Structure formats: C-alpha cells, structure tokens
Amino acid sequence: MTNIVVFGGTGYAGSAITREALSRGIAVTAVARDTSKLDAAEGLTLAQGDALDADFVTEVTKGADVIVIALHAVQADGSELKDRFQHFVDAAAAAGARLGIVGGAGSLLVADGGPALFDTAEFPDAFKGEAKSHAQVLEGLRASDTEVDWFYVSPAAAFGGYNPGERRGTYRTTDEVLLTDADGNSDISGEDFALAFVDEIASPAHHRARFGVAY
C-alpha cells in the first residue's frame, strides 16, 4: 500500500488531496497544527505538530512513499516556506520518498514568452507576496542538486475555497503557460485539482518538474 504524508492536511488543497487519496486506498498521514477538524477514516492517521519543525518532519515522514506539501508560502507569523523548505527535501531523501508540492498559479506564464501571471496588471497586489514566495520554492527546487524526485503542481488562476466548483472528473495539464477555457477563464475545482495531484502520485509522469492543471 502506498503511504503519503500531507502537510497542511486541514487546508483547502490538502484536505481534498487527503480525501482523494483515501478513496483510492492510499494510506494518509494528515499533518496540521490542529487536527480536530478532520474526521476519522479508514486509512487515515492524524499527526498534530509544526510543519516547520525539522525534527518533527523527519519523524512523521518515516516510511512515507510521497511527502505532500500543501502549505501557505507565507505563514501567519510572516515566516516564509522557502526559508524552511530544505528540511522537507532532507526528510524526503531520508525516507526515500517523492516530494509533491501544491504550488501557486502566479508563476505560470500568461503566454509563451511571458509575462508571469503575477506580473500582470490584473493580478491582485494582496496576493503577490504569497505568489512570489511560492515561486521561490519552485526556483529553489530547480536550482537544487538534490536527487529527490519532486513534482510541483500549479492550479488554475481561480482556485481556492472562494471558488470550490464541482467535480467533473477531468482536467488538462500544462508545463509553463496558464490554461484558460474558450471564454478566457482559468478554473479548477478543489476535487479535480486533487484528482490530478493523486493521479501523479499513482502514476508518476513528472519528475523534478512543475506542471499546471485546469479545465
């Protein structure tokens, strides 16, 4: 049985990935500062702790096949994921696990040759800090000489609890250019993002690479 550890297991993306994985018989350890929001389920283990504590991360990921990072790039206290990300890479190396990251859409290009979505006039200033910090996580992974097999998944532009959508059971993938539909919308529901993410866990197709998903 595949075993995954999901950091941010109570969040929008992390909880959707947890549900999708459990539905396929994948064993999940869901990690959060407060796991009381999660209901007991077959195959689910709850682990309460601080994802930015390197010792805790090393301990909770022992025996994992895939380590999933579904965390905000900028934490409530102002600390940034990019500055503490190496201990996830180290934990994956120690466990012999793949590393999967729920990324942001902001660093996707709006067209071949750019610009990035977060460099367009339409991108809200309030979200630029989070988006650019998450892009630095990706840049760090690309520049790293780690042998860990990682994948980074960027959602559509309109992704989040404010736009949950419904499960369609379908999605498209992209490498670097933001996907939009015929009306120029870039959407993906939480459930279909999780579908794409867990498909990558079940049948690896992207190695040390980013891909995006949208309808």
Q: Hey, where are the domains in the chain?
A: 3-214
pLDDT of residue 196: 98
Which amino acid is located at 172 in the chain? R
Note if the pTM is more than 0.75: yes
pLDDT of residue 188: 98
Residue with tokens 């000489």: 145
Q: Is the pLDDT of residue 37 over 90?
A: no
Asked whether the beta carbons of 93 and 147 are under 8 A apart, the reply is yes
As a whole number, the mean pLDDT across the chain is 96
- Tens of pLDDT, residue by residue over 139-161, are 999 999 999 999 999 999 999 99
Per-position DSSP letters for 25-82, written without gaps between them: T-EEEEEES-GGGSPP-TTEEEEES-TT-HHHHHHHTTT-SEEEE---SB-TTS-BHH
Q: What is the mean pLDDT of residues 52-73?
A: 97
pLDDT of residue 195: 98
What residues are paired with 211 via a beta bridge?
A: 153
The CATH homologous superfamily for domain 3-214 is NAD(P)-binding Rossmann-like Domain (3.40.50.720)
Q: How far is CA 5 from CA 59, 94, 156, 176, in A?
A: 11, 14, 24, 27
